[in-house]
Structure 1
Amino acid sequence: MPTFYLNPRASHAPYPPELQHILNIGAAAESRAWLKHWDRINMQGTPLRELPGLAARLGMKNIVIKDESLRSQVGSFKALGAPIALVRLLLRLMPEKRLNIDALFMGSYRELLQDITVISATDGNHGRALAAAAQSVGCPCVIVLHGGVSSERENAIADYGAKIIRIGGNYDESVEEAARLASENRWYVVSDTSYEGYEDIPRDVMQGYAIIGAEVIEQCLCRQETPAFSHVILQGGVGGFAAGVASFLWQYHGKHRPQLIVVEPREADCLYQSGIAGQPAKATGAVDSLMAGLACGECSPLAWKILQPCIDAFLVIEDEAAVRAMQVLAAGRDQDIPIIAGESGAAGLAGLQTLLADEQLKKKARLDHNAHVLLINTEGATSPSIYHQLVGENALSVKVRQDCWQNRRVK
């Protein structure tokens, strides 16, 4: 059974001034400008895909998905967060050097940075993005992986020259191990989750994710008082992604902001539990999910400062729902474009389908035939063998069908 919680603390007032120092439109714009100097990322804007066939089948006015699988060779939205956090860390560490951002991403300071080691725990995508950025700028990188991370994701990280450390346990235990190793070796943690005394870098990561909100607004040409979407469904995890995107939409649209819903796995329901408690809380499940990027047991306290007043509802879904959503997106039925969405990438659609399958939940979420829904495909087939197993078709085959669809549209 789905679990759905309407947040009584959600506000549709203008973006509060006290949140400006955490996340704001100006810092997102600066991050966006900096990332244009990195040759491993697409800063032209990932596509917004309209899915009219799916919308008609589900009884919605419109369903649009932003495809972050095409953000970079990293294969996920994480390419927006880790590089910006790394750049801001280096600028803070050596302000007297007046580092040039273009030269930094080109590796011109490699000799200067050879003794600055960065480390992070990851379920795969964040570590891959950090390893790629560290390789570009020229500083050593260490990535801590827990037992649930696939060998394919490990190899993808190692391909960027990162040193891999494997531990048993889950994601939260890998976070603890990364913090321990950093303290022991005088390394620098570049993580997307905050904890006591550690907020600057998670804030920088979230600011990078806010770029997605900026692109959506520009691509839709929407005005502040008229959002293009009535509902936006965001993936959970520790909360950094949801906070980054939601904060931008809230600050831009103010009291006119869309309904914001967060979705997460049943076994990793830390945001749902935080919503009920009204403060950061731990997951009640085993923190073991097929949606590896969302299998997090503890909410980021910094992200929660944004999420508590702006997320209208929290939804918990089953792993099977994500698999069905992956298959739906890959199929591209009724003239919709086929989309390659990984397990976590398809979670937004899985959440929408879960809500629409229950009339009571559908009403609570205010989803009717007039709804304009935005989903975000946060990752592609970052573990190709798992994708093939779950979808029944390999990602290359889906890509061929996607290219054929696009070629027909051009003609």
Structure 2
Amino acid sequence: MFTPFKTATLNHHASTPLFDGSVTQTLNRADFDNAEKEISNWDGYAETPLLDLPGLAGRLDIGDLRYKHEGPRFGLGSFKALGGAYAVLRTVQRELSKSIGKQADPADIRHGLYAEQTKAITVISATDGNHGRSVAWGAAQFHTHCRIYIHAEVSEHRADAMRKLGAEVISVDGDYDATVAQTRADAEKHGWLIVSDTSWPGYTQPPLDVMSGYGVMAREIVQSYATPPTHVFLQGGVGGLAAAVTAVFHQKWGLDAPRVVIVEPELAPCLFASAKANKATNVEISKETIMAGLSCGEPSELAWSVLTDAAHDFVTIPDSIVGPMVRLLANGVGGDASVEAGESGVAGLSAVVAAANQLTLRRNLHLDANSRIVVIGSEGITDPSIYAQIIAGEI
């Protein structure tokens, strides 16, 4: 059952958190409050399940293992539904407020009271799939035009899902970072508004909005715990998800917050490289990982300021354990319920299973029978054809 995880090569870098305040100041409580108040009023909002996996925990000889299943989120298949769409609303709200000379009410925007004005606004974004789908959905909800930029490795199913939401989808040569560069060039040329989940010098507000939206998910988690878990394993990417969860956990539990372990594909380890260099560091992606949503070579500087303040460990995982992890979840372990998860969604859990089965890493991450671990199942089935291939053992 665990053979691929026992033999997999994981790289580990232990970091010393600074705890200088960035973890609670970069993303503040008021921004999370505003996002929670708004998103909880959207049609279709429902708390996603925090699944207990006692069968798998027992086989790994850890005390407790819970999986936040984001597949059902707003029918969009991933946690990204919270961030991109909320950032679209905030971007539209700021632009509209300037044109009408007063603060536009988000509820009025949602209900179409300013539809004629918002139709003249174009929001654009780069994506590997899930963020773009959320931006496209948000643009439809808030009555604005949308252009999404994708690279060649984004599947046709994911591209078509965005088209069906009304977005214009543009293919760009190169990887994810090339699509980000193209959005920046086109935004400057045409006056379009970028809604990105990554920040760069001079561009911070929409990424902050995105991460504030992710905080809704993190707050759902903390409400389920009477005492904090000991560990949280968080997918990397540009760092937005990890930063938001880490910030909410520290706002709730302070220094009693769980040990933060950042997990990335070995093919796209920009946060791992940043931790080793002790500064935000880009990496070149020479081959795309199966974990498409995590194929990012350039970290968000805002997210990095949070992670360098509070993350304890950075781990990279090989693609070889992703398919086995998806299949283990689908089959259930030791009586656990079957869970349908996407490739990026199992990154954190894959690292848990591999680390628990390798003595050195188990010791370095302080995993034992008393460990209580939470992971983020960040996506469900976002491409049925890829999922079918994984279940069939073809990937």
TM above 0.5: yes
- Residue 153 of structure 1, CA deviation: 0.1
Measured against aligned partners, the alpha-carbon deviations of 1:337-378 in whole angstroms (never above 9, x if no partner) come to: 111110000111111112122211110100001111101100
- The aligned residue for residue 133 of structure 2 is 128
- The aligned residue for residue 377 of structure 1 is 377
Is residue 245 from structure 1 mapped to residue 234 from structure 2 by the alignment?
no
In structure 2, list runs of 5 or more residues that go unmatched. Answer: 1-8
Q: Give distance in 2, aligned partners of 1:173 and 1:244.
A: 25
- Residue 94 of structure 1, CA deviation: 3.1
Check whether the contact 1:211–1:245 (CA below 8 A) recurs between aligned residues.
no
Is residue 26 from structure 1 mapped to residue 30 from structure 2 by the alignment?
yes
Residue 361 of structure 2 aligns with an amino acid whose one-letter code is L
- The aligned residue for residue 4 of structure 2 is none
Q: Secondary structure at the match of 2:89?
A: helix
Q: 2:211 aligns with which of 192, 198, 206?
A: 206
Cα separation, partners in 2 of 1:76 and 1:25, compared to 1, 3 Å: same
- The aligned residue for residue 71 of structure 1 is 73
Q: 2:103 aligns with which of 98, 101, 116?
A: 98
Measured against aligned partners, the alpha-carbon deviations of 1:121-156 in whole angstroms (never above 9, x if no partner) come to: 000000000000101111000000001100000000
Is residue 139 from structure 1 mapped to residue 144 from structure 2 by the alignment?
yes
Q: Secondary structure at the match of 2:223?
A: helix
Check whether the contact 1:287–1:295 (CA below 8 A) recurs between aligned residues.
no
Check whether the contact 1:190–1:202 (CA below 8 A) recurs between aligned residues.
yes
Cα separation, partners in 2 of 1:154 and 1:266, compared to 1, 3 Å: same
Is residue 159 from structure 1 mapped to residue 164 from structure 2 by the alignment?
yes
Check whether the contact 1:2–1:316 (CA below 8 A) recurs between aligned residues.
yes
Q: Give distance in 1, aligned partners of 2:163 and 2:374.
A: 34
Residue 12 of structure 2 aligns with an amino acid whose one-letter code is F
Check whether the contact 1:108–1:137 (CA below 8 A) recurs between aligned residues.
no
- Residue 20 of structure 1, CA deviation: 4.5
Q: Give distance in 1, aligned partners of 2:382 and 2:284.
A: 27
Check whether the contact 1:37–1:102 (CA below 8 A) recurs between aligned residues.
no
Q: Secondary structure at the match of 2:67?
A: strand
Residue 89 of structure 1 aligns with an amino acid whose one-letter code is T
- The aligned residue for residue 10 of structure 2 is 2
Alignment of 1:245-324 (within 5 A): 245-283=245-283, 285-286=285-286, 288-324=288-324
Check whether the contact 2:96–2:117 (CA below 8 A) recurs between aligned residues.
no
- The aligned residue for residue 35 of structure 1 is 39
Residue 357 of structure 2 aligns with an amino acid whose one-letter code is A
Cα separation, partners in 2 of 1:19 and 1:3, compared to 1, 3 Å: closer
Measured against aligned partners, the alpha-carbon deviations of 1:136-189 in whole angstroms (never above 9, x if no partner) come to: 111000000001100000000100100010012100001001111111111000
Normalising by structure 1, we get a TM-score of: 0.90
Q: Secondary structure at the match of 2:47?
A: coil
Alignment of 1:190-205 (within 5 A): 190-205=195-210
Q: Give distance in 1, aligned partners of 2:110 and 2:335.
A: 41
Residue 276 of structure 2 aligns with an amino acid whose one-letter code is I
Check whether the contact 1:170–1:287 (CA below 8 A) recurs between aligned residues.
no
- Residue 287 of structure 1, CA deviation: 5.2
Check whether the contact 2:73–2:79 (CA below 8 A) recurs between aligned residues.
yes
Of stretches 233-242 and 22-31 in structure 1, the one that deviates more from structure 2 is 22-31
Q: Secondary structure at the match of 1:381?
A: coil
Measured against aligned partners, the alpha-carbon deviations of 1:307-340 in whole angstroms (never above 9, x if no partner) come to: 0011110000011111111111111132211111
- Residue 97 of structure 1, CA deviation: 4.0
Q: Give distance in 1, aligned partners of 2:391 and 2:60.
A: 21
- The aligned residue for residue 359 of structure 1 is 359
State the aligned residue count. Answer: 383
Residue 152 of structure 1 aligns with an amino acid whose one-letter code is H
- The aligned residue for residue 408 of structure 1 is none
Q: Secondary structure at the match of 2:200?
A: coil
Cα separation, partners in 2 of 1:305 and 1:287, compared to 1, 3 Å: farther
Q: Secondary structure at the match of 2:376?
A: strand
Q: Which has the higher contact order (CA 8 A, sep 6+)?
A: 2
Q: Give distance in 1, aligned partners of 2:134 and 2:371.
A: 34
Check whether the contact 1:287–1:297 (CA below 8 A) recurs between aligned residues.
no
Q: Give distance in 2, aligned partners of 1:102 and 1:282.
A: 39
Check whether the contact 2:13–2:315 (CA below 8 A) recurs between aligned residues.
yes
In structure 1, list runs of 5 or more residues that go unmatched. Answer: 394-411
Q: Give distance in 1, aligned partners of 2:88 and 2:149.
A: 17
Check whether the contact 2:27–2:247 (CA below 8 A) recurs between aligned residues.
yes
Check whether the contact 1:37–1:105 (CA below 8 A) recurs between aligned residues.
no
Q: Give distance in 2, aligned partners of 1:284 and 1:89.
A: 30
- The aligned residue for residue 396 of structure 1 is none
Is residue 328 from structure 1 mapped to residue 325 from structure 2 by the alignment?
no
Q: Secondary structure at the match of 1:121?
A: strand
- Residue 19 of structure 1, CA deviation: 5.2
Check whether the contact 1:178–1:189 (CA below 8 A) recurs between aligned residues.
yes
How much identity, in percent, do the aligned residues show? 37
Q: Give distance in 2, aligned partners of 1:296 and 1:111.
A: 36
Residue 206 of structure 1 aligns with an amino acid whose one-letter code is M
Q: Give distance in 1, aligned partners of 2:145 and 2:218.
A: 31
- The aligned residue for residue 59 of structure 1 is 61
Check whether the contact 1:191–1:202 (CA below 8 A) recurs between aligned residues.
yes
Check whether the contact 2:23–2:310 (CA below 8 A) recurs between aligned residues.
no
Residue 82 of structure 1 aligns with an amino acid whose one-letter code is G
Normalising by structure 2, we get a TM-score of: 0.94
Cα separation, partners in 2 of 1:260 and 1:284, compared to 1, 3 Å: same
Divergent runs of 4+, >4 A? 18-21
Measured against aligned partners, the alpha-carbon deviations of 1:195-235 in whole angstroms (never above 9, x if no partner) come to: 11101111111111111221111122x2xxx31x1110000
